[in-house]
Amino acid sequence: MAIARRQGGLNQNYWPGFVDALAAFLMVSVFLVMVFALAQFSFSELLSQSEGQVSTLEGRLSGLRRDANAAREAAALSQAELAEALASLGLTTQQLTEERIASETARGRADGLALRLTAAEERVAATVESLSARGARILELVASVEALEGALGESSENVSRLGAQNITLEEQLARLTEELSAISASLAETEVRSGAQAIEIEDLTGQLSLALAREVEELERYRSEFFGRLRDLLGEQDGIQIVGDRFVLQSEILFPSSQASLTQRGQLELTQLATTLREITAEIPSDIDWILRVGGHTDIQPIATAQYPSNWELSMSRALDVVKFLIAEGLPPERLIAAGFGEYQPLDDGISEEAFARNRRIEFKLTER
């Protein structure tokens, strides 16, 4: 537009172009002012933050200064404690002065002085501990001396008492001598009487031996009769035998396998046995103290059930069941005893089924109580 006006003639108006330039200048100025204001604001913020950090650093610096002052005071206190420790260790005044001068000139070597101070404290502690031990030892020695003095006093008293007791013992010895003489005379009389009593005792012993022999002989006679009559009655049956002085019934005749309840056949066998036993025992004199032992035996095969944890329980339960049956058949209970031997007294040491069958048995033995 300005160019067009300039081409139109000399009397052209330049104001509009100036206004455009001025407007552009103002816009640039305003932009710069805004930029400056933003920069000023950011700088103020940074300055505030810096001032806060400076304040924090000043606070920390103050704390460090306080710590440094406390450290200096602690160092001064350590120097005083070091001086006391050195004095307690018996250092001379010249050594203490030299040490103080050395410590003042070597403050920068605080670590070294701290180490030396620690060593000095340890030596002081060791010295104190040694003195305490010596003091305790001295107290022990004093107590020992007091105990020895007391024992010496008691010994003096004991000597006096022993002197008095010696006189008393001499008097007692004289009395005992007299009593001994009397006892000797009485002993002589007793020996005379004991000779006669010994003769009587020998007579009584002989009579007792004869009575016992007669009783044993009589028991043996009834035992022989017992076995003889049982042999005549049951000896021909299978599973029944005589072993030494015992009458044996095989368990298969009386009980089912691994059980202790009598079978019907077992009850019949025991009924016959009970009848014979009643007849025989009725003839035994009352002064013979006999007893019939019923023993239960098993083989070595283990058993482990809730009712019978081992062969001990099974053998004992079988013997007890036989005893109860004999009592029910009229035998006196005071003449019966049940015993369980388990597998520990076998008749046959073999491991065959025949050996096992022989060892499973009920034994009856007539013997003295």
* 346 has a pLDDT exceeding 90: yes
For residue 106, name the pLDDT band (cuts at 50, 70, 90): low
For residue 255, name the pLDDT band (cuts at 50, 70, 90): very high
Question: Rounded distance, CA 272 to CA 233, Å?
Answer: 8
* 102 has a pLDDT exceeding 90: no
* 5 has a pLDDT exceeding 60: no
Question: Rounded distance, CA 281 to CA 290, Å?
Answer: 9
Integer CA distances (angstroms), 115 to 54, 80, 97, 110, 249, in order: 38, 15, 20, 9, 99
- Cβ atoms within 10 A of the Cβ of 297, count? 26
For residue 361, name the pLDDT band (cuts at 50, 70, 90): very high
For residue 1, name the pLDDT band (cuts at 50, 70, 90): very low
Query: Could you tell me the two tokens for 34?
Result: 């805004």
* 145 has a pLDDT exceeding 80: no
What does the pLDDT read at residue 279?
86
* 304 has a pLDDT exceeding 80: yes
* 260 has a pLDDT exceeding 70: yes
Of 16-20, 24-28, 199-203, 286-290, give the lowest mean pLDDT range: 199-203
Question: Do 256 and 263 contact (CB within 8 A), yes or no?
Answer: yes
DSSP string, 172-203: HHHHHHHHHHHHHHHHHHHHHHHHHHHHHHHH
Question: pLDDT: is 141 or 359 the higher one?
Answer: 359
For residue 124, name the pLDDT band (cuts at 50, 70, 90): low
Question: pLDDT: is 63 or 364 the higher one?
Answer: 364
